[in-house]
Amino acid sequence: MVSIRLEPIGKVFKADDGNLLEILRQAGVSIRSDCGGKGICGKCKIVIVEANATFSEISEAERKNLTEEEIKSGYRLACQTTISGKSATIFIPKESKAEVRKISDLYREAKIELKPAIRKFFVKLQKPTLADNSPDYERLTRIFGEFEIPLELLRKLPKKLREADWEITATFWKNTLIDIEKGKSEECYGLAVDIGSSKIVCHLVDINSGKTVAKGYEENPQVAYGEDIVSRVTYASKSPENLKKLQKAVVDAINGIIAKLCKDAKVEKERIYEAMVVGNAVMHHLFFGIEPKYISVSPFTPAIRKGVSFSAKEIGLDICKQGVVSSLPLIAGFVGADAVANIAITGVHKEDKLSMVIDIGTNTEIILGNKDRLLACSTPSGPAFEGAHMAYGIKAVSGAIDSVRIVEGNVEYSTIDNEKPKGICGTGMIDLVAELYKNGFINRYGKFKEKESDRIIFSPTPRFVVARAEETEFGKPITVSEKDINEFLLAKAAIKAGWMLLMRKMGIDESKLEKIYLAGSFGRYINVENAKLIGLLPNIPPEKIDYAGDTAVGGAKMALLSLDVRDEMEKVVQKVEYVELSVEKDFHSVFIRAIPI
């Protein structure tokens, strides 16, 4: 066993000998590992300051991702390094820290008739007598009719009724009694949850009024096991223990958000009776602890499609002991309940006009259609829009360059929270690539042109200096290389190929598209003109593009508040035509054509 001291946070802990990345994961230390520990991304850099321990030899992956100067200074990749011995002091550089990103404060709301699954009733029961010694359950059925009751609550029923002197508030989920309170209680809350590949968003909702009383979010801790969902599927499929780790990680994160929301809103967690959860198919399976392996291999089959409901206790969610955790249905393949939530809140399934919903992220979902026909696909855009696979790419955290302009050769940029730049996030890359192209620095294929500028470094590989060393947080220039641009263009091409193929199947071109809903936090901050220039979005007038914000959590809230919405979405998914891009014969050729700017 080795004693590890982490700087600059000063955390000291003991761990069994083994892989450093796994040791840090188990210790709850957030460190970037965008590739899931495969030695590809080079983002899990650590520095060995001093040690009374033995480390593994420098690997080929480390020699590829670290400079000679870094290696001499004690830099290693945590995923490639094993440790054994007595003690070590390890420094985590700023660029390796996993930080919580900023998310959109724009949430779409929809007016619906409140018809929740949760209902509360205050009743005064007749006390048993020798003349009327009916059992407690039967006494309740006189008021409520026949209903289901969990064994755990049934065990406590006699005591609860008598302690309340037969004046109780009964809480039902549909036709199941899930709680009994003494006296009159009207407090009734639910939770709307969007489990994204990268972040988790929760709304605490007053069931009686339909209003959100508190909002919170957290980084999805599963990113430590891989930025992309395929890496997580691979990890989870290796053993039941790995699947349990991923399931526990996301449940623990949601429980942490619940605790904060309850504190902020002064709500007891026992008054939260249902959580409505949405997410893509893999996130759905990992949250419920369902084997996700077969979603990622042909014919890409999930374990279940219809909406599900399980006890919160079974899942491990920290709400009412007999509370319920539900999910909207999935569509197919990787397209999950979050896409269904997007359909619900945008209402594209009810409109005459042809609309497109694009939720850009690690796993980008696209919906196209109207009330007559709906098509859906999931594009393998990968984590490039989250900053992975780029030397200075980062998520939308404080200090990320999020917008760029090039004016007469001078670079103007903004950063999140106006902090010193520490990297460039997805929206910044959209602007940068568009600006480099508009100003003649790169061609359509992302290759640098021969152009006089002190911003271009050609040795050892061509790079463009976005922020100079004296401007950045860590004293090194933030640059973008041809490799970085190529990674970005490949991600862009995957998305463009997705909507091109959907439009082809619908028999339309861009001119027939009447509305685009940009869903998710990422879409909220996109420069639409630059996105259209590089081909990320269809070229339609800007007034037809709707910054929809975090629609998935809004759709989850709709379902939380209305059984009619749940029933409606079950019917909608039956008519959605899922397009599996990987088996489309034209996908490869369309994808290749979609790469250039």
pTM reported for the whole predicted model? 0.83
Residue 132 inside a domain? The answer is no
Give residue 231's pLDDT.
85
Q: Give me the DSSP letters along 184-231.
A: -----EEEEEEE-SSEEEEEEEETTT--EEEEEEEE-GGGGG-SSHHH
pLDDT at 121 over 60: yes
Q: Which domain holds residue 584?
A: 347-383+489-594
Q: For position 554, which CATH number holds?
A: 3.30.420
CATH number at residue 51: 3.10.20.30
User: Could you tell me if 379 and 405 lie in one domain?
Assistant: no
Higher pLDDT among residues 91 and 357, named by residue:
357
394 vs 538, residue with greater confidence: 538
308 pLDDT more than 70: yes
pLDDT score of 105 more than 70: no
pLDDT band at 421 (very low <50, low <70, confident <90, very high): very high
Residue 108 lies in a domain: no
Final residue before a domain boundary, out of 96, 121, 146: 96
Mean pLDDT of 376-395: 80
pLDDT exceeds 80 at position 353: yes
pLDDT at 585 over 70: yes
* pLDDT at res. 274: 98
Residues 309, 207 share a domain = yes
Q: What is the pLDDT of residue 38?
A: 82
Q: Is the pLDDT of residue 106 over 60?
A: no
Average of per-residue pLDDT across 381-408: 83
| Structural domains of the chain, count | 4
Instruction: For residue 455, give Cα distances in angstroms to 432, 469, 481, 544.
Output: 13, 12, 12, 37
Q: Are residues 206 and 227 in the same domain?
A: yes
Q: Please, which pLDDT band fits residue 165 given cuts at 50, 70 and 90?
A: very high
479-490: average pLDDT: 93
Residues 539 and 525 reside in one and the same domain: yes
CATH number at residue 301: 3.30.420.480
Q: CA 398, CA 418: separation in Å to the nearest integer?
A: 8
Q: Is residue 154 part of a domain?
A: no
Predicted confidence (pLDDT) at residue 419 exceeds the cutoff of 80: yes
Residue that is last in its domain, among 70, 96, 122:
96
523 — pLDDT class (breaks 50, 70, 90): confident
Confidence tier at 97 by pLDDT (50, 70, 90): confident
Instruction: Tell me: do 451 and 545 sit in the same domain.
Output: no
Judge whether 137 lies within some domain. Answer: no
- Of 96, 115, 135, the last residue of a domain is 96
Strands 82-91 and 45-55, bridge-based pairing:
antiparallel
Mean pLDDT over 316-339 rounds to 95
User: Of 476, 477, 473, which Cα lies nearest the Cα of 456?
Assistant: 477
> Is it the case that residue 367 has pLDDT exceeding 80?
yes
Closest CA to 373 of 572, 216, 112: 572
Regarding beta strands 515-519 and 545-549, do their DSSP bridges make them parallel or antiparallel, or are they unpaired?
parallel
The yes-or-no verdict on residue 108 having pLDDT over 80 is no
Comparing 100-114, 195-209, 436-450, the range with the smallest average pLDDT is 100-114
Say what the pLDDT of residue 101 is: 56
* 228 in any annotated domain: yes
Q: Same structural domain for residues 85 and 21?
A: yes
d(CA 229, CA 401): 25
In a domain, 40, yes or no: yes
In a shared domain, residues 477 and 525: no
Calculate mean pLDDT across residues 540-551: 90
- Asked whether the predicted pLDDT for residue 11 surpasses 60, the reply is yes
Query: Would you place residue 382 in the very low, low, confident or very high pLDDT band (cuts 50, 70, 90)?
Result: low
**Co-location of 309 and 209 in the same domain:** yes
- The reply to whether 405 falls in a domain is yes
**What percent of the chain stands above pLDDT 70?**
97
Among residues 250, 254, 194, 258, the alpha carbon closest in space to that of 222 is found at 250
Cα–Cα separations (whole angstroms), residue 589 to 493, 500, 584, 592, 594 = 11, 12, 10, 5, 9
Per this entry, what is the length of the chain? 597
- Give the chain's mean pLDDT: 91
**pLDDT at residue 94 is higher than 80:** no
* Of residues 458 and 155, more confidently modeled: 155
Position 460 scores a pLDDT of 79
Segment 249-271 shows an average pLDDT of 96
Q: Are 217 and 553 in contact (CB under 8 A)?
A: no
pLDDT at residue 107 is higher than 70: no
The verdict on 286 and 431 lying in the same domain is no
Q: Do 507 and 469 sit in the same domain of this protein? A: no
Above 80 in pLDDT, residue 99?
A: no
Residue-level pLDDT at 100? 57
Top pLDDT among 333 and 134 is at 134
Q: How far apart are CA 461 and CA 288, in angstroms?
A: 46
Q: What is the pLDDT of residue 213?
A: 96
Per DSSP, the residues of 349-405 read GG-SS-EEEEE-SSSEEEEEE-SS-EEEEEE--GGGGGTTTSTTB--S-TTEEEEEE
**Per-residue pLDDT tens over the stretch 214-235:** 999 988 888 778 777 888 999 9
Q: Is residue 417 part of a domain?
A: yes
The model's pLDDT over 43-59, given as tens digits with 9 standing for 90+, comes to: 889 889 888 889 999 99
- Clarify whether residues 372 and 514 are in a common domain: yes
pLDDT top residue among 384 and 302: 302
Closest CA to 387 of 40, 61, 63, 41: 41
User: Are 451 and 414 in the same domain?
Assistant: yes
Average of per-residue pLDDT across 70-96: 88
Closest CA to 269 of 216, 218, 335, 323: 323
Residue 531 has a pLDDT of 95
Highest averaged pLDDT of the listed ranges 32-41, 110-119, 218-227, 448-457: 110-119
